[in-house]
Structure 1
Amino acid sequence: MNKTAIEGFFATLKAANPSPQTELEYASVFELLAAVLLSAQATDVGVNKATRRLFPVANTPAKILALGEDGLADYIKTIGLYRTKAKNLYKTCQIILEQHGGRVPRSREALEALPGVGRKTANVVLNVAFGEPTMAVDTHIFRVGNRTGLAPGKNVLEVEQALLRRVPPAYLVDAHHWLILHGRYVCQARRPLCERCQVRDFCDNPAPTMAGNAS
């Protein structure tokens, strides 16, 4: 995908959805961090179902610790890998209180030092909570980046770096939301909905069905 096509691609996505948002439900930076940590190998719908029970009771590091690890696990047991996630979130809350004054840190290094927080989670928090132009590459963005020719790469880091180089600065802060939503609802893995794709004209591979190319 050349520069002209990339500009058209994002201009079209922006026109259709000027202010894209994460589908995770949260009301604070800590709630966002917790929700993203819980979302690994889980759907946003599933995470929201659990946090609608958890957050009214415990939505700060101190309140999570007051529940205890087992109590926390009971609130999130509908999510896959819930015991591991409860352990990681509980330890993360301890570190936030002991090392960061109860506030979610703003640096990548500090975020990635938290249990259960990898590069993707850190990128989401830095982007959504703090407005930094990061690119959180999940399976949807990896697929869209490769399939469309927007940002080909053999792994998520290569796709992330390609996107940071190729996405025009004017679109960079919102780009990962547009790409996730496009991959989730249009450029799907098994059968991309090319017939209703708004950015088909800019795609390097605009076939009616591309199931064989799914990533």
Structure 2
Amino acid sequence: MAKLTETSVQQRAPDEILHPDSRALFRFWESVRGESSTAHRNDIDLRHIKDLLPWLAILERHPLKPEYAWRLAGTGVCKIWNQDLTGGQFMADWDNFERDTVCRLMDNVIASHQPCVARFKAVYDDGEMLGIEMLSLPMTPADRKSTQVLASVVPFRMPYWLGETNISRLELSSVKMIWTEHSTRSPRHLPDVACKGRAPSAKPLFRVIDGGR
């Protein structure tokens, strides 16, 4: 089983990953995958990331439909949505445009075995808002028949009301693909997208950045 050694802890996470928990998960994933393009579930010892477990999730693509399901969702992730997410549809709270965008991003994580980091805003029924970062990493499950997404979903603050009100909508702010060293394949082309409520920018929303060792 992989251990989060002192060396692996010191591995650098890309600067574009902002949240400390996301950065910790990226470094752990790097230490587990070694020379492989993904981390294998059998090699992940959750004891070494026990403090991250409430904010972790596993996403699985539907074999026929362009959608993803929460195969597992930690207690903290469920608290953000104020409901038990496991078994539910991952993109249920996105509008059609952003749902399509997020689905293609997850498809790219699976197809190219490259991580991505996204930031979005949750708007709640009572008008409260919460900034969230989601790091998505390719992971091979125990049966090795497919690729799943191991994700951290972490809020940038912990308001007292978290877990007491429901999300009314999610607004995507930014997404960046992270280029790791295992492969010479480029991520699929993703068009530049202006986030809802913002004017189009010359700076693309989707950008490949260097990461990994």
**What is the TM-score of this pair, normalised by structure 2?**
0.28
Q: Report the structure, 1 or 2, having the larger helix content.
A: 1
Q: Report the structure, 1 or 2, having the larger strand content.
A: 2
**What is the TM-score of this pair, normalised by structure 1?**
0.27
